[in-house]
Amino acid sequence: MAFLLIKELLSLPADSREVRVRGWVRTKREMKNLVFVAMNDGSCFADIQCTFDRTREDWDGGTETALASLSTGAAAEIGGRLVPSPASGQAAEVAAETLSIIGEAPPETYPLQKKRHSLEFLREIAHLRARTNTFGAVSRVRNRMAFAIHEFFQSRGFQYVHTPIITTQDAEGAGALFQVTTLDLNALASRKGGPVDYVQDFFGKPAFLTVSGQLEAETYAAALSRVYTFGPTFRAENSNTTRHLAEFWMIEPEMAFARLPDNMALAEDFLKSLCIAVLKDCADDLAFFDARIEKGVVKTLRSIAESSFAHITYTDAVKELEKNAAAFAFKPFWGCDLQSEHEKFLTEKIAGGPVIVTDYPREIKAFYMKQNDDGKTVRAMDVLVPRLGEIIGGSEREENQERLERRMTELGMDKAAYAWYLDLRRYGTIPHSGFGLGFERLIQYVTGMANIRDVIPYPRAAGQAEF
């Protein structure tokens, strides 16, 4: 008989049909005549219970020996019949007839025993943590969200473009770049003085891992009208926080013929549709997060799907913050970069839900943002959500060549290196807008997981690149 996943088995009628379960043992409970083995294969949150009735006459010796040595974490195959379950909380179980151990997990050393482990401990055994309820659920939600992102954009005429991972540009002008080189650093260190000769380097000039695919995405939006990227992004930010990784995934839509209000509407529709998808398709996983990780997370997702996002300008936001200055370690003032405490205050205390902050001071935003006529602010937007603060950052782009060049000059940027980017303004320039959603922040948001290192399989952060 074909081998089915536990998710598929649990959707079948419990009509005593013959089934075969393959997976890993979560628990084994022994009663006088019965042995209960909970099997999980990660295809869904639920385990499938396999019940061995020791009073049966027809056990084969192999099964009995295997049952005695079966332990948590072992891989096994259990054959039997799918029957209605007398236990509460599960419709069906397997009346087990055969058992074979496929891979043992010696209980003396297997680290994932029945007791609950701390998230810190599980981070140290990240190669095994996907076998826990929490990380299985995070993985399934991550998978569903990735698919929902493609569904959302594809159904709206956005085309998926693959922007480069290695680049010679600093897209954000923020300087947190990882350099990519084939030069021998040890040889360089032992030689005397003089600048590095990049002509000898692989690309013939300094190269880096990308901090954003936006600039290249803009070139495709100026040809295909609506595009999006979804790929890995790298930032050598030495910030040891629960919201920053050195390697994270970002989704960046870019739309031609679109202004800031179109961008804001897209961001709101996008987040809502992702909440609806996870509520619909990950109900069991979300129920777990709600019960064990973050009370109320399901209610929050429902309310996001139904409410509309608040809007506030940066200038008005700072006024609100100044009125409450006593609440902050970092005193807010016009011109300051909003700190995470400010962002949380705006979304949790002022808006009571997601809020889009627009028109930031140009000095704290990237060179490419469209300049307002006031000469002080740019057409930027950040979407802030409770618990996390910034989840999305974006803007309308400066499509006027002269203004863009002037800004680049002010910032001391090398215009020659961005000639291709300036060409977009020279040939068939258009108003256009886009934003970036941090994928891991989204997963934190929908699961309620507190630390970003627990929503990506193998987190990379300063001093941390295990596995």
Residues in contact with Mg ion by CB under 5 A are 393
443 forms part of the interface with ligand 4AD (CB under 6 A):
no
Nearest distance, CB of residue 149 and Mg ion, angstroms:
19
Closest CA to 232 of 144, 135, 142, 163: 163
Nearest distance, CB of residue 37 and ligand 4AD, angstroms:
40
Closest CA to 278 of 434, 439, 443, 128: 443
Of 48 and 145, CB closest to ligand 4AD: 145
- Burial track 246-261 (b if 16+ CB lie within 10 A, e otherwise): bbbbbbbbbbbebebe
Nearest distance, CB of residue 40 and Mg ion, angstroms:
38
Q: Which stretch binds ligand 4AD (CB under 6 A): 102-110, 237-245, 265-273, 291-299?
A: 237-245
Closest CA to 12 of 92, 80, 77: 92
Query: H or E stretch including 167?
Result: strand 166-167
Which token pair is 308?
């509309």
- 49 is in the binding site of which of Mg ion, ligand 4AD, none (Cβ under 5 to 8 A by kind)? none
Whole-angstrom CA distances from 465 to 247, 454, 456, 460 are 10, 14, 13, 5
270 forms part of the interface with ligand 4AD (CB under 6 A):
no
Of 332 and 393, CB closest to ligand 4AD: 393
x-or-dash string of contact with ligand 4AD, 169-188, rule CB under 6 A:
--xx----------------
Of 52 and 230, CB closest to Mg ion: 230
386 forms part of the interface with ligand 4AD (CB under 6 A):
no
Q: What letter represents residue 378's amino acid? A: V
Phi, psi of 187 (to 5 degrees): -65, -40
355 forms part of the interface with ligand 4AD (CB under 6 A):
no
Among 332, 431, 436, 459, binds ligand 4AD (CB under 6 A): 436
Question: How many angstroms separate the CA atoms of 42 and 146, rounded?
Answer: 17
252 forms part of the interface with ligand 4AD (CB under 6 A):
yes
CB neighbours of 137 closer than 8 A, spacing ≥ 6? 45, 282, 285, 288, 289, 447
| Helix axis angle, 439-447 to 133-154, nearest 10° | 120
Of 212 and 300, CB closest to ligand 4AD: 212
Q: Which stretch binds ligand 4AD (CB under 6 A): 107-115, 130-138, 243-251, 400-408?
A: 243-251
Phi, psi of 234 (to 5 degrees): -130, 130
389 forms part of the interface with ligand 4AD (CB under 6 A):
no
Q: Which stretch binds ligand 4AD (CB under 6 A): 154-162, 300-308, 385-393, 419-427?
A: 385-393
Among 248, 289, 309, 314, binds ligand 4AD (CB under 6 A): 248
Of 235 and 425, CB closest to ligand 4AD: 235
Nearest distance, CB of residue 390 and Mg ion, angstroms:
6
- For residue 302, the 8-state DSSP code is H
Of 45 and 220, CB closest to ligand 4AD: 220
459 forms part of the interface with ligand 4AD (CB under 6 A):
no
Alpha helices in 118-252 (DSSP H): 119-124, 133-154, 185-190, 214-224
Of 247 and 348, CB closest to ligand 4AD: 247
262 forms part of the interface with ligand 4AD (CB under 6 A):
no
Query: H or E stretch including 255?
Result: strand 247-256
The footprint of ligand 4AD on this chain (CB under 6 A) covers a number of residues equal to: 23
Nearest distance, CB of residue 453 and ligand 4AD, angstroms:
10
Among 73, 136, 332, 394, binds ligand 4AD (CB under 6 A): 394
Whole-angstrom CA distances from 15 to 38, 81, 86, 320, 442 are 20, 8, 14, 63, 41
For 24-83, give the DSSP string: EEEEEEE-SSEEEEEEE-SSSS--EEEEEETT-S---HHHHHHHHH--TT-EEEEEEEEE
Query: Judging by DSSP bridges, how do beta strands 226-234 and 159-160 pair with one another?
Result: parallel
- Binding positions for ligand 4AD, rule: CB under 6 A: 171-172, 212, 214, 235, 237, 244-245, 248, 250, 252, 390-395, 434-436, 438, 440-441
